[in-house]
Structure 1
Amino acid sequence: MSETEKPRQKLRTGFTTGACATAAAKAALVSIITQKKIESVEILLPKEKKITINIASCKFESGSARCSVIKDGGDDPDVTHGAEIIVDLEITKNAGSIEIDGGTGVGRVTKPGLGLEIGTAAINPTPKKMITENLAVTGKNILDTSGISVLVSVPKGEEIAQKTDNPRLGIIGGISILGTTGIVIPYSTASFAASIRQSLDVTVAMKGDAVVLTTGGRSEEFSRREIDLPDHCFVQMGDFAGYTIQQCAKKGIRKAHVAGFIGKLAKISAGVKQTHVKGSKVDMAFLGEMAKRCGAASSTLDRIKAANTARHVQEIITEDKVPGFFLSICNEVHKQMTAHSEGKVEIEVILFDFDGSILGRFPQQGI
């Protein structure tokens, strides 16, 4: 092991924005009941699990309180990590009711397909249920004669939301309060898969039957120049090519434009369904065989065999002017994606270079 390498340690779990809001709400209610500043609370998560969360700030009066929690995503790379989730809680005259809404920095729903009513705050059903259940237990005596109003806000939510899919999904003005378990599992693929399904659900709900599946932000940017479809039809599939096209078939999507760069598309063409850099490597032997079928010289094949990356292979193919190679990549991706969708989705594949020019497209459209 080199001096710069560190031994692997167990990754630390975190908690969701929904768990943060729940903890802040419970702390606010407890502070009203006890008239004491609350430093931590234990909350009940779905499936009867309990966790203790620290309270960052707590101010209270006789019938209202404001408490906050700092979002801790654990070792998961999460744009909401470190965000302050604030709850303003008030005791109301509406006996037995628990009302939950979003304030500053919590997005508002403007498109269908998210499982939330248009115009409402983007607080998902599980977090709402968590807040309600925890407050119902803690405030049982209060609810006999009064109600509870909860307002969730995130001071930097609108800024954070620009780094998420919320604007594309029609969630305007802030982040979503999310979480199905309350716990964030580090580097979990589950949240990304859920995001893909949600994006496709929005497309379907908006009566769309065609999508543009890209491997990331840059390929999406280049795709927008080529394909005239509404924002909600662009879905970043990341490394989950096989899964995404399967979901397209399941949800009745008619056509999928699949766009990306040589690295991801080379992996898909070789039959890799999950293309994360740590989970699979570009198969240089496979690319060499494709180049051979396109009539590449032996010297070119030797260079490909010794290449570092797929991008390096792209440079070699371009320099040595191997005809039809990029079209062949697109053709193979088309075959793989068609197989994953069981032939239920019409597929077009576009391979971009890193400046946004099209290297290959299948089926061909006269380029």
Structure 2
Amino acid sequence: MTALPRAGYTLPVFACAAAIAALQRLLGQSAATSVTLDLLEPPQPATIALEQVALLSADSALAIARSDPGDNLDLTRDTPVWAWVRWGASDQPEAIALAGGEGIGRQDQGQGPAAIYQYAQRLLRHNLAAYLPGDRKLQVTIILPEGQALATRTSNAAFGVVEGLSLLGTTGISQPLSAPGQLDAYRAELTQKAQGSDTLVFCVGENGLDLARQLGVPEARLVKTANWIGPLLVEAGLLGVTSLLLFGYHGKLIKLAGGIFHTHHHVADGRQEILTAIAGAQGLPTEVLATLLDSPTLESALQSLRQLDAQRQTAWTAQIYGAIAQQIDARAQRYIQHHSDRAVAVGSLLFDRQRQIIVTSDFGEKCLAKLC
């Protein structure tokens, strides 16, 4: 039996571990080689190794952990995570003030706060409060020395986060969704759910799952695929599934329109090229096609289309994305037929970064009505 891939931890966990170790040193304890913290989500402890802990002055200390996301294709693997802590002023509004230093991105295209999101804030404050004397205030600055360079290889800019990485996530566990061994676990879930229904919804990622639930799709019909869409499409055909709804972020699902059935960016990309080719087939002017092709992200290309519609009173966004959805359906159906010799009707629903639905294909509409 193939061993399941090893899970790791998300970046906020390493930031929190480093902050705890730095605070312990500031309180006069010896430099720790590891700390144990409460992950909150899930509610269980985790023991994290520390690389270095140093007292910088009587009022500040620094500790360094190193990211370990488990058996996952994650660009933050082995990146150092620093936490610099120092005593805060007595009039500091919060007992624990959090800040982003070098390598932590800033929201709203650099005009907003540091990209330290809700789970990371809760994790840090909850764990540090257990050590902080009641009469003291603390300032915590998280630093990712390699964050700015790594951010250029992510889609952070599509979220409006620039100059670094985000302390993002809703859990402390980094599930190895892109590791090959994880496919066996997804197949097992698909097999179980296919026994109870011939119509299923494939969700690419947590955003797709959350939105599908909000729309009322029953849990028994939902299957998370991560990036393994191709193998799971074929498996669904072999298991006798007759109808599928592909439910995901447009920056992932558009790859299927170009015949790319493993959607991890380490494997293949071509999103802007696919969008531009389909837009060209729909008759968009050459100068607009050039803008789409040169867009840094697919999200920015979508915004360009929407701005074009607003300026020229056109409906290019709906027309182009309608064509994309129909092509996704057709390519997916052909893919299943070719690799399993089974006919499966496929529909698709694509949403943007704000989880707003951009388009639902014709068969996708029928599927959604049936499921909800």
CA distance in 2, matches of 1:285, 1:341: 22
TM superposition shift of 1:257: 4.4
- Aligned residue type for 2:205: A
Count of residue correspondences: 250
Aligned partner of 1:307 in structure 2 is none
TM superposition shift of 1:285: 5.8
CA distance in 1, matches of 2:338, 2:167: 36
RMSD: 3.9
CA distance in 2, matches of 1:87, 1:16: 15
Residues 61-99 of structure 1: per-residue CA shift (max 9 Å, x gap): 322111111110111221211111111111112366111
The 1:105/1:81 distance shift into structure 2, 3 A limit, reads same
User: Any idea what SS the aligned residue of 1:163 has?
Assistant: coil
2:320 is aligned with 1:232: no
CA distance in 1, matches of 2:338, 2:23: 52
The 1:24/1:214 distance shift into structure 2, 3 A limit, reads same
- Aligned residue type for 2:160: G
TM superposition shift of 1:222: 3.2
CA distance in 2, matches of 1:281, 1:22: 49
Q: Which is higher, the Rg of structure 1 or of structure 2?
A: 1
CA distance in 2, matches of 1:152, 1:281: 50
The counterpart of 1:102, out of the listed 88, 96, 100, is 100
User: Any idea what SS the aligned residue of 2:82 has?
Assistant: strand
Q: How does 1:10-29 map to 2 (within 5 A)?
A: 10-29=4-23
Aligned partner of 1:85 in structure 2 is 81
Between stretches 185-194 and 53-62, larger displacement belongs to 185-194
Q: How does 1:173-252 map to 2 (within 5 A)?
A: 173-187=163-177, 193-194=205-206, 214-215=254-255, 217-224=269-276, 226=279, 232=299
CA distance in 2, matches of 1:154, 1:260: 39
The 1:341/1:261 distance shift into structure 2, 3 A limit, reads closer
CA distance in 2, matches of 1:22, 1:102: 13
Aligned partner of 1:303 in structure 2 is none
CA distance in 1, matches of 2:149, 2:114: 17
Contact 1:219 1:261 in 2 (8 A): no
2:364 is aligned with 1:337: yes
User: Any idea what SS the aligned residue of 1:171 has?
Assistant: coil
- Aligned residue type for 2:100: G
- Aligned residue type for 2:333: S
Q: How does 1:17-56 map to 2 (within 5 A)?
A: 17-46=11-40, 47-56=42-51
Q: Unaligned 5+ residue runs, structure 1?
A: 1-6, 112-116, 200-209, 236-252, 273-279, 288-332, 344-367
CA distance in 2, matches of 1:271, 1:41: 49
Contact 1:104 1:155 in 2 (8 A): yes
| Identity percentage of aligned residues | 23
CA distance in 1, matches of 2:325, 2:64: 41
User: Any idea what SS the aligned residue of 1:158 has?
Assistant: helix
Residues 167-198 of structure 1: per-residue CA shift (max 9 Å, x gap): 11111011111232211122179996235689
TM superposition shift of 1:16: 0.5
CA distance in 2, matches of 1:164, 1:52: 28
User: Any idea what SS the aligned residue of 2:75 has?
Assistant: coil
CA distance in 2, matches of 1:103, 1:58: 18
2:114 is aligned with 1:124: no
CA distance in 1, matches of 2:270, 2:85: 42
2:52 is aligned with 1:57: yes
The 1:18/1:28 distance shift into structure 2, 3 A limit, reads same
- Aligned residue type for 1:159: A
Aligned partner of 1:162 in structure 2 is 152
CA distance in 2, matches of 1:38, 1:127: 22
- Under a length normalisation based on structure 1, what TM-score does the superposition of the two structures give? 0.58
